[in-house]
Structures are given as C-alpha cells and as structure tokens.
Structure 1
Amino acid sequence: MLKKNEGIDIVKELGGIQNVEQAQALFEKRLDSDHLIRIRKLSQPEILIKIANAIAMCDPARVYINTGSAADRQFIRQLALNKGEEAVLPMDGHTIHYDLKEEQGRIIDRTFYIANPDEKISSLANKILRDDALVEVRTKMAGIMSGGTMVVGLYMRGPVGAAATNPALELTSSAYVSHSAEILYRNAFDDFEKEVERLGHFYTNIHSEGLNRAEDLPNARVFMDRSHRTTYSFNCTYAGNTLLLKKGNHRFSVDKAVYEGEGRELAEHMFITGIDGPDGRVTWVAGAAPSGCGKTTTAMAGNHFVGDDLAQMWIDESGSVRSINPECGIFGIVEDVNGEGDPMLMDRLRNPGSEVIWSNVLIDETGTPHWTGNGEAQPIRGRNFQGPWKKGLQDANGKEIPISHPNARCTISSSALANYSEAAEAAEGVETRVITYSGRDSDTMPPVWVAKNSDHGVAIGACIVSAATATEVGASGVKRAPWANAPFIPGALGDYMKAQFDFFGSAAIADGKRPIMAGLNYFLTHEARGGSGKKLLGEKKDVKAWLAWLEQRAHGDVDAIETPIGFIPRYADMQRLFETRIDKAYPEDLYNRQFSLYVDNILARIDLQIAAYSKEENIPPRLFDVLKEQRDGLVALKEKFGPIVTPEQLSNM
C-alpha cells in the first residue's frame, strides 16, 4: 500500500524551510514588493512551505507569482521570446518553440519513481530509492535557476468545484513551460487555497531547463515522488518531460484513484467527447489510446468536444459515471492533421483568431508552419526541429530527414474549437455511457466491438497492443499498452487492474447507467485482410460511424452479432450510419474484411497477454477467467469454420 508523506520530503530537506515563519522570512528577502504582496494573499502553510523550499533549493534571481491576469500572461509570453524559448510567427498569436533535436519525446530511460525501500513500483517503470534521489536532486538541482526567473503558477487540473479535480503548483524557470500551462490548465490563483482545503491535497512540480544544451541531456532526469506528490525535472525542454502538470501529475492522480478512490474513482489516459443521437440526445464517450494513436482525431470526431488526452472519472451519488478533463487545452500531435480528416482543428491552425504554440514543425521562409501529412503543398526549404532544412537533407545515417518531427505538436485552447462544449467546465462533469480502448493494431482486432460485460470490458483495456510511436525517445516495435495508461501507472499493475474491475463492476452504478465498454481499431491494413500494401483499410473519418454505432448500442437502439470476444455490428446498421453520418458508401465486401475474425491472430494476442500477466504479482483472477473464456470460444469457432470466421457464419450460429 502506498503511504503518503513517508520518508524525507526532498525539496524540504534541501530548501531547509520547516515552517511558515521561515517561509515568510525567505519571501521578504527574495521577492520584490509587488510579488510579496501577491504571495501574502496565500496563507495555507504547506503551500507556502513548498514554494519557499523550491526557491531556496533552485536559487532564482527573481520570483514571479503568476496570478493568471492578462498582464501576467503577457509577461510570460514576452519572457519566452526574450529568452529565445519561442519566436514570433507572422500570424497573430502564433509562436514557434524548438526542443533540443535529441529530445523530441518523453525520456523514459531517465524517468524514475522515487521509492521508499518497501514500496512496490510498476514492473513497466523505473525506480530510484529515496536516498539516491536526494543525492541526485542535491547535485543537479541546487542553484540550477541561478540568474534566472522562477515563475510560480497555481492551477486546477479540472474545473473548480469538481469531485475529482486536483490542485497543482507549477514552479519553473522555463517561460515556454509556463506559457503552455496557461493554455492547457486553469490558473486558479484566487480559488487555489479554497480548493486545497476542500480536497485535502495538492501536487507540486519543480522544473528547470538548466543551460538547455545537448551535452546536458545525459544528466536530464524526471523524478516523481509519489509519497509527497512532488515532481522534479531538470536539464530537459520537451513539454512531456517538463510540463509536469500533465503526465507527471496524471501519475499522482492514478495513485490517488487506485489507493484512495475506494472503487469509485479513476484517472485515465482518455479523450472525452459527446456524440449526437436521435431526438437531440447527446451521449458522452471516454476513450483510451496510447499517445500518437489517434485520441485527438477521435475526440474531434465527436459533436461536443471536452478533451483529447486525460480524464478523471467518478461514480456520483445518483449512480452515474461522471468524467472531467483535467486540462482545458490541447497539446496535440500534428502529423497527418489535415483539412479532410481534421477540418475544425485545421481551421484554427490555419486562420487567425487563436493563440497557438507550435513545436518542432518546419517554418518556411514566409513564417508559415508545415508538417508531414497536412495535405498541402510542401516547401523545399525552411527551419525545423534539427536546424536549417531543405528537401532531400539526410541525417548522419543517410536517412532522409522529414519536414517535421513525428512528435511535432500544437498547443491551443480547447475553447478555440468549433465543437468545444461548455460542459467541459461543469463541476458535475458529463455522464459517461461509452468507454473505448484502442491502439495501432494493423492486423488483429475488428474496427469496433463491445464487451459482453464489465469484466470483459476491463480485459479489453488490459490487452491493448500497439505499435510504438514517436512520443517516447528510443521506442520501437509493437508492444503491450495496458489501458493506454501503462507509462503512467506508478504502482503494481495488479492494484491498478483491481481498481478497474471494482469501478466498472461497482454496485454503486445505477441500473441503466452502466457504460458499455468497447474496442476501437481503425489501423487495420489491406495486407492484413487479404489485400496488399500497408495502406489503412478505411479512412480516419470512418471513426464517426463507429462512434455513432456505439452511441446507439449504448441505448439499445441497434442489435449486434455475438462473438467470443464481444458484440460486433450488423452490416445493415453500419451501411446506414456510413451514409447518414459521413455520406459514404460502405460495401459489404469491406465490412466482411473488417469484421471477419482472424482467429489465429486473436489467439496469439490472448496467449501473449496470459504469458505477460502470469509474470505479474496479484493480478485479479477475473482477467484470466475472461481470457480463457474467449480463448475456448475462439478455438471452438476455428474447429467449426476454420481460421477466418465471417460475420455471416457468426450470425447463423
């Protein structure tokens, strides 16, 4: 069991500030009069002690208390420009940021959980013992902000007043990080202490980019102290390693849900979107996918956008599953974002009226951003993530350098989007009736299927397998991606899985309100279904039809074909939804290729999962029961029909 406040609080040890009186004395010494007035508006002891210790440890020349005012936001933007962390682009409100070319994703090999000696850490993660982390932070962070400015921000990860929202401090010397936080999170200076008192906790994030040199990257680290809910990040610049409000604090939220949520709370790597149904009905969907696997595209396919990356979920007193987005903006991958597949996002990226921070795209000679797969004419020269670029430029290994990095991003406020829903700021969240799980699966699962019950639904999430993406430095190949949340599960997988079974199977969920749980996969290729080539067997926009079917299935409006892995749609329903939702023909031959069960592939996937989870401690037996049930059913199908089983054969059973 995870113990809160166990062991030395590293920043308190290094800063030396033990009480409010010492904190106030430090503020008197280190803050100018304007910012001293601001911090005196705060009185909660633990907040003040954390901020004071971060100042004492990092030793900035100046401390800026960011209240979220228009003047403060403008100061931060200008600081980013003055430091060279961002540069102005011709379109009003647009800037470009480049990370170090060697740091274009999460540094998973240098990311560690700080652990107490007897503390269990996920088998998929790295850990460092607390005493060793103390030495590392003392050696590499003490005085790291010397000569610089520390910006202190007080944010809410979710709407103020929500049951599952989380307050968080962000203390950074990077104006780019602070600028990003202002777009992606809710500055809550005026409400922060009230929310901390209501919720009984807050997270702390301390970051410095150091000298921002490539030679410092071997010494870059991201440390996450689960016991004291404090993150430390240094010598790095990519937002996934530095904007610790995001995935760093998501990890703390996972811990909070697993070890304190009592089966009524989850923290998930999920989009949230609303789908229009018949007679004005809106059905809310939350869906998991690994980074770089289409969460933003799927979220934007909905009619009412709430979020594209993270979700906090809980069961309310009425028995409904409710969801909120901890964020209020998008830090979205732009590769393959184009006018055909992502018209609303593309409109905001290509037309005036929105604040956008671009990262690691190409900027041409006119100051226009370009990226791979944008569906537009590509320039032959410009500047991108590795420096000056021209078409045909090769790296040291003779490989052609693309126009933009595969993990190039845009940062933009959710409220800028045409399908943005004001429900995103509702403290009560949205009632969630559909849960989906997906990954980059080219050859195994059908485009959409619904679990037979909540236990089978948890198994879908537990068994995601996906091709690696550019979001992680050095990642390659196809790998397991449990719940698309595995990189962000701090504790034992068995503990997390139990929380999933407890939540979705909870008796507290009212009759008629239990979400359906489903798999999504729009990465099937032609060669995997009897054709040739690696082109997708469909288009990105097809997901609107799959989501529409799930919306109707959640309300019992459509029947389905039962299979050992769950329920798949009938052809007539999908043909109708393709026509009415995306004005597209859907031939029966394509349906048969997409929804036939390739039994040997699915059996291999099940066997992979059984072997992997058998090596883990305390995995709930229910997982193995579900997988055995599915395996036995598939073997029986193969004995009757052979290795490929069509929807018609399944219908006639």
Structure 2
Amino acid sequence: TLCCKDDYFICNLRQPEKVIIAHMPDDRMVVSYGSGYGGNSLLGKKCFALRIAGRIAYDEGWMAEHMLIMSVTNPKGVEKFFVAAFPSACGKTNLAMIQPTLPGYTVRCVGDDIAWMRFNKDGQLMAINPENGFFGVAPGTNHQTNPNAMAALQRDCILTNGLEDEVDKDIPITTWLGKPYKIGSKENYPSSHPNSRFTAPAKNCPIMHPKWEDPAGVPISGIIFGGRRPEGVPLVIEAEDWKHGVFLGAQVKSEATAAAEFKGKQIMHDPMAMRPFLGYNFGKYLQHWLDMEKPGRKMPKIFHVNWLWREHPRSGLDDARRVDGEDIAEPTAVGLVPKEGSINTDGLNINWKELFSIPPDYWKGDIHETRRYLEEQVGDDIPPVLRSELDRVEARVDAMK
C-alpha cells in the first residue's frame, strides 16, 4: 500500500518515491498523492485548468493557456484587453495588478495565471479567467512591487512556507532547509522557501475588472510572450503576422525559477510558458496555435518582451498603441521594434540603442540553438509552417552584419 502508520498523506517528504502525480487526458482525470507542491496539490489549477483543459481545448477547438488577462485604458478612454504568458515567477501577477507610472493610463486585472480562450461567432478572440483567486509567489511581493496584491492579502488569505513578522522572536524555528533560524540573527539562512506562496480571493483585489466573471469573456487585442533574458533580447518585439507570432512564442526562453525543477540561473526553453503544463504532443500543440488563424477571424497582434529590463511596463503601453494601429514600429531581422522616441521615456535614464539592439553574433547563435531545440524536442512533429518560419527568420539573421 502507499500509506502506512508513520506516513502522512499531505506531504510525504520522507518517502518521495511514493509521491504520485498522474494525468489521464483521455479520461479527463488527475490523481495526486503525497505532494506538497502547490501545482500538484491544488488540482483545479495547473493539473486540470491547463494540462487536462489543454487537451479538451485541442479536441474542441479552443485554447487553455498559462496567461494573465488584463486591460489597458489610454488617456482617451480607449480600453484594450491583453493576455500575457511568462514562465513562473517572471512577473505575471505583478503585471496583471500593475499601477501605471504614465499619467492617464489605467490597468484592470481579469486574471493573473490562466486564460481559456475561444473565438466567438463574430471572429473575436474572447478570454475568461477560470480561477477565483490568486496563488502568487510571496518573495518579492511587497508594497513597492505590488501594492494591489498586498491589498488583496489583508483578509481571507493563506500564506504557505513563509515566515510572518508577527512570530514571537523567542520561538525556535526550523527553516525549509532543516536549519535553525532565529529572528534578528545576522547568521540566518533564508527563512522562507523561494517558492513560498500567498492565496487570496480575486474579489479582494482593488483593481479587478468589472467583467472578470463575465461568462462571455473579454475581447483580446494582443498576446504577449516573454521571459527574463540577461542579454541580446530587446525590450519588445512585435510579430509580423500570426505565423511569426507563433514562432516567437515557440522560442520563449527565460532564467529558470524556484517554481521550476531547475536551480540556478540557467536559460531554459519554455515555449509559450507552457513547457511544464502541456497535456499532449508539443508539435500538435504548435499546430493547434497555427490552426487558430482562419478567414473572418480578427487575429490579435503578438509581442515578445524581455522582462529583465526594469521599465518593461512601458512596453505594454507600446503594445496597446500598436493594436490601435499607430505607426510606431520599424522592421528588423527578428521582428518589429519601436521606432526611436516612440515610447515615453520621461524620468528614465536609458540608452535606446541598448534597449532595442539586435546583436548579430548573439542572434545567430540564438536562432541556431532554437533550431537544435525544436529538432530535438519536436523533430518530425514540427509543423511545416513553423519550420518554414524558422528557415525564414534564420536566413535573415544569418545575413545580418
């Protein structure tokens, strides 16, 4: 049997070989035993709402994605909705609840983690948030980085694997590393797990959009992919068309995080930020994305952002202007980038060329590495259209001087 007198169901740390996480997409079933990891314990989240729902979406012609949903309203009162996909701990929650620094702009949150999307009868892509709250990374969340999240934590909140300030300083503490911890000591190890979490109801967030529970969803104008890239990748790239956008999503890479199984600052592939959550063949998943483009549909613009740059929120405002059709982009070998001076840089000390440079040597190495990855991971299942897109972009990059 899996359980005996000395074992505990919730988190079987002493016998990890008895931890079982099984997904059966054909039966729409998940079995989880013995894991204390949030993604394996809260089965309605990643297990069902992404892995199983992704297979259902494939069978039925819609999309289940690891994406936030937000709206941006410009100073003229024009509101546009976006979905955005970033690997875990790359800032989805912070972006979904951001307070714009530019005057006249307003952001509203629809969801911070999962989007279910379907084209309606008018050809408009609509998105709903299937969740009823937030399950966010606690380290780094504070009144400076995310005041709206902090407001959401004021009541009905659950904190896991983190140390609270209210703990009496004389109480002995053993950290998640199994080491003693004394509050106030200068020799302390980190008290909180890097993947410690907060859980709070969505209704607690002061900037939730009035339509966040609308079963019809909200109309999506733009899709944003991205991650944390320490070099070579500009703040924002706009795809030339839907096929190019799917290619940008397929080549998403980022520094690995505490929410993933890798440790340290390795640059890991995470296509569409779905690598840990795919519930069926990767090649079929990419083809499913390509198949979304049909006559009569209003295809959203697709962007790729580099979240390493600290003023990345302004790139989101640039994306909002591009979906309005403003002529503020220029072509490069890897996609469209903002024309110099098109993004408001008031109050910032930045080097525009550094922010949007496309270093030839870096990109030649990057595109060749992307080809190797796709050949190894997808192989013969690479959709022909995506392979042609890879060939096209690679040829342009190789021609750069």
Structure 1 length-normalised TM = 0.56
**In the alignment, structure 1 residue 480 sits paired with structure 2 residue 248:** no
Distance 1:322 1:334 in 2: 30
Tell me the residue number matched to 1:35. none
Tell me the residue number matched to 2:132. 328
Q: What per-residue deviation string (whole Å, max 9, x for no partner) do you get for residues 253-279 of structure 1?
A: 111122331xxx111110100011242
Aligned length: 387
Distance 1:282 1:393 in 2: 49
Tell me the residue number matched to 2:331. 562
Q: After the TM superposition, which residues 78-89 of structure 1 pair with which residues of structure 2 at under 5 Å, given as runs?
A: none
Distance 1:469 1:379 in 2: 33
Q: CA deviation at 1:614?
A: 2.0
**In the alignment, structure 1 residue 410 sits paired with structure 2 residue 198:** yes
Equivalent residues of 1:224, 1:230 under 8 A apart:
yes
Matched residue of 1:227: which SS? helix
**In the alignment, structure 1 residue 517 sits paired with structure 2 residue 278:** no
**In the alignment, structure 1 residue 608 sits paired with structure 2 residue 374:** no
Q: Label 1:508 to 1:626 Cα distance change in 2 as closer, same or farther (>3 A).
A: same
Tell me the residue number matched to 1:593. 354
Q: CA deviation at 1:401?
A: 2.6
Equivalent residues of 1:275, 1:282 under 8 A apart:
yes
Equivalent residues of 2:88, 2:257 under 8 A apart:
yes
Distance 2:172 2:326 in 1: 53
Match for residue 161 of structure 2 among 345, 360, 373? 360
Distance 1:613 1:362 in 2: 42
Equivalent residues of 2:72, 2:320 under 8 A apart:
yes
Matched residue of 1:425: which SS? coil
Distance 1:427 1:209 in 2: 39
Distance 1:501 1:271 in 2: 21
Match for residue 60 of structure 2 among 260, 268, 275? 260
Tell me the residue number matched to 1:389. 181
Tell me the residue number matched to 1:499. 288
**In the alignment, structure 1 residue 545 sits paired with structure 2 residue 314:** yes
Distance 2:117 2:8 in 1: 33
Matched residue of 1:140: which SS? coil
Distance 1:417 1:570 in 2: 36
Matched residue of 1:632: which SS? helix
Matched residue of 1:567: which SS? strand
Answer 1 or 2: higher relative contact order, Cα 8 Å, separation at least 6. Answer: 2
Q: What per-residue deviation string (whole Å, max 9, x for no partner) do you get for residues 214-271 of structure 1?
A: 213221110111121111111122221111111110201111122331xxx1111101
Matched residue of 1:423: which SS? coil
Give the letter aligned to residue 406 of structure 1: P
**In the alignment, structure 1 residue 217 sits paired with structure 2 residue 16:** yes
Structure 1's unaligned 5+ residue stretches are 1-138, 147-207, 369-377, 395-399, 524-537, 639-653
Match for residue 279 of structure 1 among 76, 80, 91? 76
Tell me the residue number matched to 2:239. 451
Equivalent residues of 1:362, 1:383 under 8 A apart:
no
Matched residue of 1:457: which SS? helix
Tell me the residue number matched to 2:390. 627
Give the letter aligned to residue 322 of structure 2: R
Tell me the residue number matched to 2:101. none
Q: Label 1:383 to 1:342 Cα distance change in 2 as closer, same or farther (>3 A).
A: farther
Matched residue of 1:573: which SS? coil
Give the letter aligned to residue 457 of structure 1: G
Give the letter aligned to residue 280 of structure 1: G
Equivalent residues of 1:392, 1:401 under 8 A apart:
no
Tell me the residue number matched to 1:463. 251
Equivalent residues of 1:362, 1:382 under 8 A apart:
no
Q: What per-residue deviation string (whole Å, max 9, x for no partner) do you get for residues 179-215 of structure 1?
A: xxxxxxxxxxxxxxxxxxxxxxxxxxxxx96164421
Distance 2:120 2:237 in 1: 27
Tell me the residue number matched to 1:140. 2
**In the alignment, structure 1 residue 251 sits paired with structure 2 residue 251:** no
Q: Tell me which protein shows more helix as a share of its residues.
A: 1
Matched residue of 1:287: which SS? strand
Q: Label 1:614 to 1:211 Cα distance change in 2 as closer, same or farther (>3 A).
A: closer
Distance 1:305 1:407 in 2: 23
Q: After the TM superposition, which residues 189-200 of structure 1 pair with which residues of structure 2 at under 5 Å, given as runs?
A: none
Q: CA deviation at 1:355?
A: 1.2
Tell me the residue number matched to 1:242. 41
Give the letter aligned to residue 516 of structure 1: K
Q: What per-residue deviation string (whole Å, max 9, x for no partner) do you get for residues 617-651 of structure 1?
A: 3211222221222222223231xxxxxxxxxxxxx
Q: Label 1:253 to 1:348 Cα distance change in 2 as closer, same or farther (>3 A).
A: closer
Q: After the TM superposition, which residues 627-646 of structure 1 pair with which residues of structure 2 at under 5 Å, given as runs?
A: 627-638=390-401
Q: Label 1:627 to 1:269 Cα distance change in 2 as closer, same or farther (>3 A).
A: same
Give me the identity figure in percent.
28
Higher Rg: 1
Q: Label 1:337 to 1:630 Cα distance change in 2 as closer, same or farther (>3 A).
A: same
Equivalent residues of 1:360, 1:408 under 8 A apart:
yes
Distance 1:317 1:496 in 2: 23
Q: Label 1:496 to 1:211 Cα distance change in 2 as closer, same or farther (>3 A).
A: closer
Q: CA deviation at 1:585?
A: 2.7
Q: CA deviation at 1:384?
A: 4.7
Distance 2:315 2:20 in 1: 41
Give the letter aligned to residue 637 of structure 1: M
Tell me the residue number matched to 2:103. none
Equivalent residues of 2:72, 2:80 under 8 A apart:
yes
Matched residue of 2:14: which SS? helix
Matched residue of 2:52: which SS? helix
Q: After the TM superposition, which residues 58-97 of structure 1 pair with which residues of structure 2 at under 5 Å, given as runs?
A: none
Equivalent residues of 1:362, 1:385 under 8 A apart:
no
Q: After the TM superposition, which residues 116-131 of structure 1 pair with which residues of structure 2 at under 5 Å, given as runs?
A: none
Q: CA deviation at 1:592?
A: 1.2
Q: CA deviation at 1:403?
A: 3.0
Give the letter aligned to residue 318 of structure 2: W
Distance 1:497 1:433 in 2: 20
Match for residue 571 of structure 1 among 335, 340, 347? 340
Matched residue of 1:336: which SS? coil
Equivalent residues of 1:298, 1:543 under 8 A apart:
no
Distance 2:362 2:171 in 1: 43
Tell me the residue number matched to 1:19. none
Distance 2:300 2:172 in 1: 50
Matched residue of 1:456: which SS? helix
Distance 1:599 1:559 in 2: 23
Q: CA deviation at 1:386?
A: 4.5
